């Protein structure tokens, strides 16, 4: 009855691991470099690189259920190996981009859709979680905020409904514990639509100071963000944000899945305030 948690040091994966451990499940945590994993006492550790089929069989041996990050290279082989190992339920962390308005041209949507399709075509029962923008994306502003510098962003009035990673982990654990969720696709969001500027105002109120915003033009954002993001991904992201200016994001209540109301961006910001504070 072992549950495998891939990406066990990831933002969501670690939370899934901790919840399953607290509930007393036999667990196997995996990573590409298992030696880097620090896991609770009693949790097995395995090497699993989702792009390397040679690592699949050993990581899946004796596994009943699995929490999975989406990696298209090797997905077909992974689900074949899972079927061979007798895995009875996979919960896949996908993305709401798959059903978004730009799904046909969005590389992020294609990345996640390829894994969803491989799961659907396999013999392994699966539940697909499609979260929208993570609240933790705000950590991208932490360096500037901690340094007291303006936050440089395009489309500051674009809306998202940021979802707390604890809600995604709660949904994953609920799905793993509910065999009847197999075959379902569940879209997840935070409880309210909020603009980037409003997120920064929430952080500013908690920090007790105004956070200056320097709004970039699209061209400036292409130049600055293009230094660390592939062009097709950046183009798609900027298109989405541009279309979301002044347009509230759809809200998908997590409560029917997790049994509790979705956590707000304010609660996320309160919990992560240290990341936005200058270190001496
Ligand atoms: N940020 C958003 O707004 C958003 C919205 C919707 C969906 N998503 C999706 O959510 C996921 C990110 O979640 P997160 O914040 O928890 O990520 P994270 O903290 O960056 O962790 C990513 C995890 O994925 C694992 N991983 C990556 N490539 C792997 C591979 N080839 N084989 C095995 N494991 C691999 C890493 O494992 P190692 O320990 O081996 O490094 C790591 O633990 C992405 O798939 C993203 O597209 C994000």
User: What architecture is domain 135-161+191-249+262-276?
Assistant: Alpha-Beta Complex (3.90)
Q: CA dihedral defined by 116, 117, 121, 125, rounded to 10 degrees?
A: 10
- pLDDT of 280 reads 57
Which residue has the least CA distance to atom 25 on ligand 1?
A: 7
Q: In the chain, where does the domain assigned CATH 3.40.50.720 lie?
A: 2-124
The model's pLDDT over 164-211, given as tens digits with 9 standing for 90+, comes to 999 999 999 999 999 999 999 999 999 999 999 999 999 999 999 999
H/E stretch holding 130: strand 126-131
- The token duo for 216 is 């970039």
Q: In the chain, where does the domain assigned CATH 3.90.25.10 lie?
A: 135-161+191-249+262-276
Percent of the chain at pLDDT > 90 equals: 96
Q: Is the predicted pLDDT of residue 57 greater than 80, yes or no?
A: yes
The model's pLDDT over 68-84, given as tens digits with 9 standing for 90+, comes to 999 999 999 999 999 99
Q: Which residues line ligand 1 (CB under 6 A)?
A: 6-7, 9-13, 31-32, 48-51, 69-71, 93, 95, 131, 133-134, 137
- pLDDT of 167 reads 98
User: What architecture is domain 2-124?
Assistant: 3-Layer(aba) Sandwich (3.40)
Higher pLDDT, 1 or 86: 86
Which residue has the least CA distance to atom 18 on ligand 1?
A: 10
| DSSP secondary structure of 59-121 | HHTTEEEEEEE---TTHHHHHHHHHHHT--EEEEE--GGGGSTTTTT-HHHHHHHHHHHHHHH
The model's pLDDT over 121-161, given as tens digits with 9 standing for 90+, comes to 999 999 999 999 999 999 999 999 999 999 999 999 999 99
CA distance 161 to 193: 4
Residue 140: helix, strand or coil by DSSP? helix
- pLDDT of 278 reads 81
45, 69, 75: residue to mutate for ligand 1 pocket, most atoms within 8 A of CB: 69
What long-range pairs does 86-89 form, CB within 8 A, spacing at least 24? 87/4, 87/60, 87/63, 87/124, 88/64, 88/124, 88/125, 88/179, 89/64, 89/65, 89/124, 89/125, 89/126, 89/127, 89/176, 89/179, 89/182
């Amino acid at each position: 009855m072992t549950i495998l948690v891939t990406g066990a040091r990831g933002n969501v994966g670690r939370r899934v691991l901790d919840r399953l451990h607290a509930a007393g499940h036999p667990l196997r945590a995996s990573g590409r470099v298992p030696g880097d994993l620090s896991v609770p006492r009693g949790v097995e550790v395995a090497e699993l690189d989702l792009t390397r089929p040679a690592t699949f069989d050993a990581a899946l041996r004796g596994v009943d259920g699995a929490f999975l990050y989406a990696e298209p290279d090797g997905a077909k082989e992974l689900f074949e190996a899972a079927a061979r190992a007798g895995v009875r339920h996979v919960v896949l962390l996908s993305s709401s981009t798959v059903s978004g308005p730009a799904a046909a041209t969005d590389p992020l949507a294609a990345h996640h859709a390829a894994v969803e399709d491989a799961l659907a075509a396999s013999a392994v029962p699966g539940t697909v979680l499609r979260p929208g923008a993570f609240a933790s994306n705000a950590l991208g502003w932490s360096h500037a905020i901690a340094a007291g510098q303006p936050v440089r962003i395009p489309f500051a009035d674009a809306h998202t409904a940021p979802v707390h990673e604890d809600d995604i982990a709660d949904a994953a654990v609920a799905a793993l514990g509910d065999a009847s969720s197999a075959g379902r696709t569940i879209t997840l969001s935070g409880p309210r639509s909020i603009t980037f500027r409003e997120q920064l105002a929430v952080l500013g109120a908690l920090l007790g100071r105004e956070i200056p915003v320097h709004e970039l033009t699209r061209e400036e954002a292409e130049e600055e963000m293009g230094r660390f993001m592939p062009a097709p991904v950046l183009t798609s992201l900027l298109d989405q944000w541009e279309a979301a200016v002044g347009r509230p994001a759809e809200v998908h209540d997590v409560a029917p899945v997790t049994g509790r109301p979705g956590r707000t961006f304010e609660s996320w910001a309160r919990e992560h305030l240290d990341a936005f504070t200058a270190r001496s």
